[in-house]
Structure 1
Amino acid sequence: MRRTSLEGADCPIARSLDVIGDWWSLLIIRDAMLGVRRFGEFQKSLGVAKNILTTRLRTLVEHGILDTAPASDGSAYQEYVLTPKGRDLFPVLVALRQWGEEHCFEGGRGSTVLVDVERGRPVRKLELRSEDGRLLSPADTQVKKRGRSG
């Protein structure tokens, strides 16, 4: 079954999901952030079929989230590396991780924890704050159409 494209949607969430909305893509991006670079490494880590992995990697490259580069060891292989656009997904993955830790594990704790490398301490929960520093909830926000100049 073919998915409906959300490429032309007005909603930025819908457009984002059009690019990265399936679990394989997000898990590929997660692994790339953890240092996975080669097709075989992605396949081993994810246990995904080669045809699905090929399609997802191609889509992520086409959308500028991953790029291909010659293998760092000088071999004939190519590697996949995150682009700045791909690295910008880091807070999205952290938000999903933190939500999953809180809501998908008994006692609100998974078997891994995201830590600050410099301090060795767990990363604080992400918060959405206003320009003046107030903590915001969904009730404190609304989506507005931009004017022609903005």
Structure 2
Amino acid sequence: MIAVRFSVRPGQGEPSGFDLGDIVCEGESGSVRSADRGLMVYLSVALLLDDLRPLLFGKRQNVSFGGVDMSVRIDFERVGKGLVSVSSRGVPVGRARVEDLARVFLRAAEELAEQGLSSLPEGDGVRIDYSTAVRKFRAAEA
């Protein structure tokens, strides 16, 4: 099973679509975390959902995600029927069923939105992109 958390780092002043945050992905074999400096979390999560959609719901066999301003990489690969392997630079993190992985990433993205996305201005481009990525991911999962 894979667990995922997205978070915004505190103390950055007025909320912005470019806020720094962290991604943590943990599994039975290890974990991968964004580096000490963090990453542009809203942009990165939107990109991650857009990248994962064709892997989880389409015919794509692998995805290598680097995020926006992220110093680590998370690799996703379909292995066997209905399973996805997660690793980082060749180091295993774990495996999960496609449905479970989709649910975990969607829930983590929704939690991040609940925690901070609403504090961004209504017309903020990053807020719009993030909301669109979550909506498309949710629709593909249904």
- TM-score bucket (shorter structure): 0.3 to 0.5
Q: Which one has the largest radius of gyration?
A: 1
**Could you say which structure has the greater relative contact order, defined with CA pairs below 8 angstroms and 6 or more residues apart?**
2
More strand by share: 2
